[in-house]
Structure 1
């Protein structure tokens, strides 16, 4: 801000200085020309006075030589008989006794010395103007510094009324945001706790079903849901959470695919899984598991039952890439697919947002493309744990291309 004010003051004061210099130079030059013209008139009057009382050529020549214009060769006299005394010719300016006095105008030099003197004074005045111009802005700059350093706390400043009003608005908005966040956390906690009762009933019903593949899947789904509810409640108390830690992407994907492969078998889907070698990323296993579940849930919910699914993990150059692709119809509006709450497919859009947040938490990216199976391909790049890799940029972007 200070540099902006300095530039504005320099521009304004500089323009004034230029106008002042041009005006001063013109006035000094005009004055010098007027002084030279007045001197020429005096010289012509002196010669004309001699011509009025004498027509002696020697007297006239002596008078011409004693004048400044005559000594410079700019003054001449033409007597009545046509005799020219002096040199130069020029414009007739006086006459006496039938003789005519002529003077050639002097060349007035440009007053560089005076202009340079004015230029020096202007430079000093310019510096003083910039220094003095900053003084009225000091309260504004101090208030802006307080505003800039007041993130996360109430703003207390003394300055212009407009900035004090802005600070009050920021305080009000911060308080309102804090209230909304508190209400949101309370609502989530309340809903999460309310879900525990029906979950307990579901667990009892699942145990009563007996054994078999269907009963196992029901129990697994209920267990996963209960675990997610517990994780939501824990997330409401960040001060009590443990550090994120690390996890092996290959192991997490293998574990979650045991659950999703059963669903694929029920629907007759072809499921391809290729996890490769162990690949560690700075995410908690639960967080990565939630990403895998969110992506596969989107596939199973929004593609035909017979559409194939592919899941793969690749580790390369400090990055771990998780790819989930399907043989569905793809994403109708990929430009908004990564916007939270707007998927364009009739869902909440939270699945891709969860995946994006997890990837960006490791310094990675999310890419939405058309895959080799003909439908959508979500490609997540995670920064590998304890590895140096170039920053991924941009952090989230979308591609919608033809088949690779």
Structure 2
């Protein structure tokens, strides 16, 4: 935009200068020609005074001392001074008409001198083209230099004005990108023209409003999560009254896991800004599969776990990855019949790791959606959305495919830390 504004100023300034300097240049040439003709006419008049008052020899000396070539045509046909042909203009002047005529190479000034012995004498002064245009080239060069200087000054001023407009616009663009990347503390310093200043104020107001709405949403989520503690406490008390100690211990372990999840939701909801986290995907995946293995044994589900050797650091917090694995395995247990086997595979990939959860169940519904809150199986539709957001938060992605056994296969690419 800055370059286009500079070009616009240059074009506008050039048009204005052309409209002014071209007529001025023509005027300069006309003035130079008029000055040269006036000077030559003065010389012709001075020589004309001497015609008829002095002898021929003195008239010849007077003609030779003139600045310009001077020729005197006497009535008797004698020619004194510079050699020149007797043109039609000279014939006209010999009838008593002083004229100025254009000839090859210049212009001749003819003055008729009446009363000379024997008739009318003619004094001719020749002006060459160079004498008619004397000084014009220098003036034109000066005008051209002046025009270039003025165009340069116009471009410089236009560039300064463009910078004054573009700098606050660039600042607005930078702040908007920071806001889009999650930096809600980004603010701009309003400046520039009134319109750009108003946009800066509006952007700051919008950023403040977004920050307030997100803070309010976090508090609402935290409050909603905190309300779950009461039924969890009641559930814990109920488990203590069960007669089966083993079953009570198992249910209490599930309640503890649920309470930890609620606590994690509250902590995350109240957290205003998070640093880039990382975890060992191998350790997290192994721990969560071990947790679900108890339920898999109860439901007679055979499962296969393939883990990469050694740690795989991914750009996801450990609790987020654990929640993602829980969501995917929870979908397997919720949407496939008991006894259906499943496979969990974690392997390195260029730039990160691939986590695959596949089963031998009925597969995805025809219109399975990754949109939050939408599901093709009658559920809340949050499981796959949690997995998708976890993958995308690391810079990865999620894809849905059919497993080799004909069931569902969810593949997450987790970017490396």
TM-score bracket, normalised by the shorter chain, equals 0.5 to 0.7
Which residue of structure 1 lines up, in the alignment, with residue 307 of structure 2?
Answer: 275
- Residues 346, 63 of structure 1: alpha-carbon distance in 2 compared, 3 angstrom cutoff: farther
Tell me whether 1:355 sits opposite 2:387 in the alignment: yes
Contact 2:72 / 2:79 at 8 angstroms: preserved in 1? no
Q: Tell me if 1:124 matches 2:157.
A: no
Which residue in the other structure is 2:330 paired with? 297
Conserved? CA contact 2:354–2:411, under 8 Å: no
How far 1:312 moved relative to its partner? 0.4
2:25 is aligned, of 16, 23, 28, to: 28
Distance 1:123 1:179, change over 3 A: same
Are residues 232 and 138 of structure 1, via their aligned partners in 2, closer, same or farther at CA, if it must alter by over 3 Å?
Answer: same
SS in 1 for 2:353: strand
Cα deviation for residue 134 of structure 1 reads 6.2
Q: How does 1:176-187 map to 2 (within 5 A)?
A: 176-187=209-220
1:226 aligns with 2:259: yes
CA distance in 2, matches of 1:55, 1:370: 121
On the 8 A contact 1:76/1:88 being kept in 2, the answer is no
Alpha-carbon distance, 1:27 to partner: 5.7
Rounded to whole Å, the distance in 2 between the matches of 1:88 and 1:139 is 59
Q: In the alignment, which residue of structure 1 is the partner of 2:352?
A: 319
Deviation of residue 293 (structure 1)? 0.7
Summarize the alignment of residues 156-305 of structure 1 with structure 2, pairs less than 5 Å apart: 161-163=194-196, 165-207=198-240, 208=242, 210=244, 218-238=251-271, 246-247=279-280, 249-264=281-296, 271-281=303-313, 283-302=316-335
Specify which of 390, 397, 403 is matched with residue 366 of structure 1.
397
User: Which position in structure 2 is the counterpart of 1:388?
Assistant: none
Greater RCO, CA 8 A, separation 6+: 2
* 1:51 positional shift: 11
CA distance in 1, matches of 2:337, 2:365: 14
Contact 2:345 2:357 in 1 (8 A): yes
**CA 1:299/1:77 → structure 2, altered by over 3 Å: closer, same or farther?**
farther
8 Å CA contact 2:391–2:412 kept in 1: the answer is: no
Q: TM-score, normalised by structure 2?
A: 0.60
3-state DSSP class of the match of 1:120?
Answer: helix
In structure 2, do the counterparts of structure 1 residues 36 and 240 end up closer, same or farther at CA, with 3 Å as the change threshold?
closer
Structure label with greater radius of gyration: 2
Q: What displacement does 1:77 show?
A: 4.9
Distance 1:304 1:121 in 2: 90
In structure 2, stretches of 5+ residues that fail to align are 49-70, 92-102, 113-119, 121-125, 179-183
Aligned to 1:383: 416
Q: In the aligned structure 2, how far is the partner of 1:233 from the partner of 1:52? A: 119
**Residues 268 and 306 of structure 1 are in contact (CA less than 8 Å); yes or no, is this contact kept in structure 2?**
yes
CA distance in 1, matches of 2:7, 2:88: 56
1:79/1:344 CA distance change after superposition, 3 Å: farther
Distance in 1 of aligned mates of 2:148 and 2:32? 29
Q: Taking structure 1 as reference, are residues 25 and 342 closer, same or farther at Cα in structure 2, changes over 3 Å only?
A: farther
Measure, in 1, the Cα distance between the counterparts of 2:384 and 2:309: 25
Displacement, 1:355? Answer: 3.3
**In 2, distance between residues paired with 1:317 and 1:159?**
46
Give 1:179 deviation, angstroms. 3.4
CA contact (8 A) 2:363 2:402 kept: no
CA distance in structure 1 between the aligned counterparts of 2:398 and 2:337, rounded to whole angstroms: 23
Which blocks of at least 5 consecutive residues in structure 1 are unaligned?
Answer: 81-86, 98-102, 385-404
8 A contact 1:272–1:311 mirrored in 2: yes
Instruction: Give distance in 2, aligned partners of 1:143 and 1:137.
Output: 11
Checking the alignment, whether the CA contact within 8 Å between 2:279 and 2:318 is kept in structure 1 is: yes
Q: Which whole-Å CA distance do the structure 2 matches of 1:34 and 1:240 have between them? A: 78
Counterpart CA distance in 1 for 2:196 and 2:272 is 35
Residue 198 of structure 1: CA displacement? 1.4
- Which residue number corresponds to residue 97 of structure 2? none
User: Aligned-pair RMSD on alpha carbons?
Assistant: 5.4
**Are the counterparts in 2 of residues 36 and 106 from structure 1 also a CA contact under 8 Å?**
no
